[in-house]
């Protein structure tokens, strides 16, 4: 009998009515002839409440205790879902991370999964029970409770689907799937029917928040078909799967804007070996995550160096840069906060020419000034002024046909 | 280094301020040179909230899932207490029932403790950590979470104190100790300094709600000194310990009133072997707990039979009695709800005469009519009219000197 893993996020099970609706969804899948494993997050604002309870007592709570505390949110949800299913006449059993031996390392609040004991779950499924597993949590070798960090329940669901050999891992959420771009920025954004792991990884790390990068990475590694769909409407969402030939026909699958970032530049750094290493060691020590590093030579002796950071890291990054300034003989440091990063993503770029050209032309036509450009194999990103970001995105959506389903777009010239 | 177990009930840790106050109490004990193990219940109304969340989804939730749900309350508290202690500069570590292998049977919502792995706790104490253990919960052999039922956290604390060889088990609560009777019924009730397990067992089962019978029974079995004390004031409470010779000098240690009960009588039952058995088998089948059975012969062929039940069981008990009425050829069934049971308890009764006489005289003088009388080795109970209960209790408190500490009472004539 084929297995389906269904993951419900916090907003999809926020109250009794929503828990019942989720339970009905599960029962429909059981009636379709599947064994179902449900993965659940904490209800709505439960986690926020627990975090605030903790901070009231300790502004810097020990991470082990934080995990002990936060893991209760999912434990509550899974037992409540099991009760709802029981009330609807279906046998169900809930498990904590510990109870299915979701073994992780000991990095509290951001642990990595090492192994899962699928046997206990199979045994219950084979007794015709619906199994409900608490997302986000595990235990380390010493039986301390750990949590998986942001997007942890997605990761639990995908890891379980891999361990159980599930046919599909469905991620139920409050949107009806992945769109070509954020519908709040471009209202005609089309829903994507199918997308590759690599494209989704780029989109997720560029801020498309529906599913966490780590869960997509897991899906790719273990070839788990992911299905992002709406918890309120019963219709197909977006399938994330391995790359299939027809995907290459789609040049650009999606576009993103990231506005919560800043650019830092070090102008006139001595162009000698080791200076770049010194600068980035300094930033790493300050725990600043750095993206899109660009270095350009301005003379035989001097170079300019710039990089992007998240806005929340700005203070730390500035301090780190100021600290290293004299050592690398830097003339001047500049900071730009009024910027945004516009990206287009598509596996078709691997085989199609002219995507960059088409992108830059469209931006030029829309009179958007490009500050800088970075690319990966399946992505092109431009830094633009923040107040031109929306206009820029719209221009790209139109030129790459992102208001239409992939099969109705014209091919690139 | 001596160990003290300190148990804090839900009202003593209901909010951040109270959790901090409990943490301060723990730290004072550490500074006095003890290793401290804290046992905590769920915060204030948390458990009620979870029960209501469950019932909203399922009027009859599966007990395993109920345990999975309710055990989160204590898990939250222990991590929060650990965080509070950390903020105050003290190393602390919290444990769930599972994490200290509090092994129980599999009777969900009312499990019995089988064993505890004290080693993990000793190891942490020897690292100078304060150990916080979730009360009320354990795990069965199959790693299902179980709970211990009413008064479960008290039981956890006493069981831990026994397993760890603790010097004392302190039960912090919102009253300052055990009183000779309920101060709401007799305002001059004196605080008891020291009381034996047997007396406390009688008082607890007669409704003195400060500590659960089961925990006292555990204390007696493993000779754990219990100390019931106030979580808001730093003063001595009541010590519950094994019987010592001077306790016998105190004839009556306490008095109780139980008002939530009813009496059922079967009049004119055929006086043949097996009829009483039939009646009580019928009540047992209806899950009615029966107390104070009295049977009297009214003729060679007929007997009257009466017994006490909790008010909440009244409907079930009446139905059971009506069901068996014809079979035992009973002439009439009567029910009295307007009654109360007044009891006096004291180990001194074992060696002193005249307690019953003194009790009945005092009630007669107060013009209280006695419906019936039952006794144990250290207890005398009378059923009286409910509206005379307070007057009856006051008369007994005065005649047995329960408004004075034990050492200031005159001895019985």
Q: Is residue A110 a part of any domain in this protein? A: yes
Examine the domain organization and report whether B58 and B113 are in the same domain: yes
What is the C-alpha to C-alpha distance for residues B36 and B27, in angstroms, rounded to an integer? 9
Size of interface A-B (CB pairs under 8 A): 114
CB B228 within 8 A of CB B171: yes
Nearest CA in chain A to B54: A80
Rg for chain B (alpha carbons), in Å?
Answer: 24
- Residue A8 backbone zone (phi > 0: left; psi -120 to 50: alpha; other: beta): beta
Q: Using 50, 70 and 90 to split pLDDT, how confident is the model at A217?
A: very high
Q: Is residue B210 a part of any domain in this protein? A: no
Q: Which comes out higher in pLDDT, residue A409 or B332?
A: B332
What pLDDT does residue A410 have?
Answer: 59
The pairing of strands A137-139 and B261-270 is: unpaired
CATH number at B349 reads 3.30.2130.10
Chain A hits for B69, CB-CB cut-off 8 Å, are 75-76, 79-80, 83
Q: Which of A309, A335, A361 finishes a domain?
A: A335
User: Which stretches of B10-62 are DSSP H helices?
Assistant: 16-31, 46-57
How is residue B227 written in tokens?
Answer: 């100390």
Q: Is residue A384 a part of any domain in this protein? A: yes
- Nearest 10 degrees: Cα torsion B86, B88, B92, B93: -40
What is the C-alpha to C-alpha distance for residues A312 and A261, in angstroms, rounded to an integer? 8
Helices A389-399, A355-365: crossing angle, 10 deg rounding: 130
Examine the domain organization and report whether B274 and B366 are in the same domain: no
Examine the domain organization and report whether A283 and A388 are in the same domain: no
Q: Using 50, 70 and 90 to split pLDDT, how confident is the model at B51?
A: very high
Examine the domain organization and report whether A22 and A169 are in the same domain: yes
Per the structure, the complete domain to which residue B314 belongs is given by 263-335
Q: Which of B148, B174, B200 finishes a domain?
A: B174
- Number of domains, chain B: 3
The residues, any chain, with a CB within 8 Å of residue B110's CB and separated by 6 or more, are B147, B148, B149
What pLDDT does residue B124 have?
Answer: 97
The pairing of strands B332-336 and B261-270 is: antiparallel
Helices A63-87, A16-31: crossing angle, 10 deg rounding: 60
What pLDDT does residue B208 have?
Answer: 66
Residue B354 has pLDDT above 60, yes or no: yes
What pLDDT does residue A206 have?
Answer: 77
Picking from B54, B61, B68, the nearest residue to A75 by CB comes out as B68
What pLDDT does residue A413 have?
Answer: 42
Q: Which of B318, B335, B352 finishes a domain?
A: B335
What pLDDT does residue A208 have?
Answer: 66
Picking from B56, B87, B143, the nearest residue to A99 by CB comes out as B143
Picking from B58, B143, B144, the nearest residue to A86 by CB comes out as B58
Picking from A72, A98, A144, the nearest residue to B72 by CB comes out as A72
Examine the domain organization and report whether B98 and B46 are in the same domain: yes
Q: Using 50, 70 and 90 to split pLDDT, how confident is the model at B413?
A: very low
pLDDT digits (tens, 9 = 90+) for B264-294: 999 999 988 888 899 999 998 888 888 888 8
Q: Is residue A219 a part of any domain in this protein? A: no
Chain A hits for B53, CB-CB cut-off 8 Å, are 16, 76, 80
Residue A311 has pLDDT above 70, yes or no: yes
Residue B411 has pLDDT above 60, yes or no: no
Q: Is residue B410 a part of any domain in this protein? A: no
Mutate: best of B20, B76, B129, partner A, most A CBs <10 A: B76
Query: Any bridge partners for residue B306, and if so which?
Result: B265, B294
Q: Is residue B9 a part of any domain in this protein? A: yes
Longest dimension (CA), chain A: 77
Examine the domain organization and report whether B79 and B127 are in the same domain: yes
Examine the domain organization and report whether A300 and A346 are in the same domain: no
The residues, any chain, with a CB within 8 Å of residue A281's CB and separated by 6 or more, are none
Other Cβ atoms within 10 Å of B48 Cβ, number: 12
Q: What is the pTM of this model?
A: 0.85
Shortest distance, CA A78 to any CA of chain B (angstroms): 8
Give CA separation, B46 vs B15, B19, B72, B135, in Å. 11, 14, 9, 14
Q: Using 50, 70 and 90 to split pLDDT, how confident is the model at B185?
A: confident
Q: Is residue B163 a part of any domain in this protein? A: yes
User: Mean pLDDT across chain B, nearest whole number?
Assistant: 92
Shortest distance, CA B57 to any CA of chain A (angstroms): 5
Other Cβ atoms within 10 Å of A141 Cβ, number: 10
What pLDDT does residue A402 have?
Answer: 93
Inspect the interface and report whether the beta carbons of B62 and A82 lie closer than 8 Å.
yes
Inspect the interface and report whether the beta carbons of B57 and A69 lie closer than 8 Å.
no
CB B343 within 8 A of CB B256: yes
CATH number at A282 reads 3.30.70.260
Q: Is residue A360 a part of any domain in this protein? A: yes
What is the C-alpha to C-alpha distance for residues A237 and A247, in angstroms, rounded to an integer? 17
Nearest to B398 by CA among B76, B171, B162, B180: B180
Examine the domain organization and report whether B163 and B75 are in the same domain: yes
Nearest to B182 by CA among B410, B409, B402: B402
The residues, any chain, with a CB within 8 Å of residue B277's CB and separated by 6 or more, are none
pLDDT digits (tens, 9 = 90+) for A182-205: 888 899 999 999 999 999 998 887
């Amino acid at each position: 009998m084929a297995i389906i893993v269904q993951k419900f996020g916090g907003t999809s099970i926020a109250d009794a009515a929503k828990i019942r609706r989720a339970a009905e969804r599960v029962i429909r899948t059981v009636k379709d002839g599947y064994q179902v494993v449900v993965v659940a997050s904490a209800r709505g604002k439960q986690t926020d409440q627990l975090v605030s309870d903790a901070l009231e007592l300790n502004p810097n709570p020990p991470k082990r205790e934080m995990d002990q505390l936060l893991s209760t949110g999912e434990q509550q949800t899974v037992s409540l879902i099991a009760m709802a299913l029981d009330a609807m006449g279906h046998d169900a059993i809930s498990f904590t991370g510990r109870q299915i031996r979701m073994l992780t390392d000991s990095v509290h609040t951001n642990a990595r999964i090492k192994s899962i004991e699928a046997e206990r779950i199979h045994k219950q499924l084979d007794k015709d029970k619906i199994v409900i597993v608490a997302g986000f949590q595990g235990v380390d070798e010493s039986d301390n409770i750990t949590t998986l960090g942001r997007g942890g329940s997605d990761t639990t669901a995908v890891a379980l689907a891999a361990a159980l050999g599930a046919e599909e891992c469905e991620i139920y959420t409050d949107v009806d799937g992945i769109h070509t771009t954020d519908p709040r920025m471009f209202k005609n954004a089309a829903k994507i029917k199918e997308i590759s792991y690599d494209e989704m990884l780029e989109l997720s790390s560029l801020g498309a928040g529906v599913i966490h990068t780590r869960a997509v990475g897991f899906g790719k590694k273990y070839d788990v078909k992911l299905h992002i769909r709406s918890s309120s409407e019963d219709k197909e969402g977006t399938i994330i799967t391995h790359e299939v030939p027809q995907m290459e026909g789609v040049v650009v699958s999606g576009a993103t804007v990231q506005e919560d970032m800043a650019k830092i530049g070090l102008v006139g750094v001595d162009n000698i070996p080791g200076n770049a290493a010194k600068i980035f060691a300094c930033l790493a020590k300050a725990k600043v995550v750095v993206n899109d590093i660009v270095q350009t030579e301005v003379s035989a002796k001097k170079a300019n160096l710039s990089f992007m950071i998240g806005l929340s890291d700005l203070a730390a990054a500035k301090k780190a840069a100021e600290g290293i300034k004299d050592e690398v003989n830097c003339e001047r440091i500049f900071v730009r906060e009024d910027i945004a990063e516009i990206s287009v993503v598509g596996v078709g770029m691997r085989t199609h020419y002219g995507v960059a050209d088409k992108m830059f032309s469209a931006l030029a036509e829309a009179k958007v000034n490009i500050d800088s450009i970075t690319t990966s194999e399946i992505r092109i990103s431009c830094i633009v002024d923040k107040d031109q970001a929306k206009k820029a995105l719209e221009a790209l959506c139109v030129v790459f046909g992102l208001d239409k389903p992939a099969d109705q777009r014209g091919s690139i010239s």
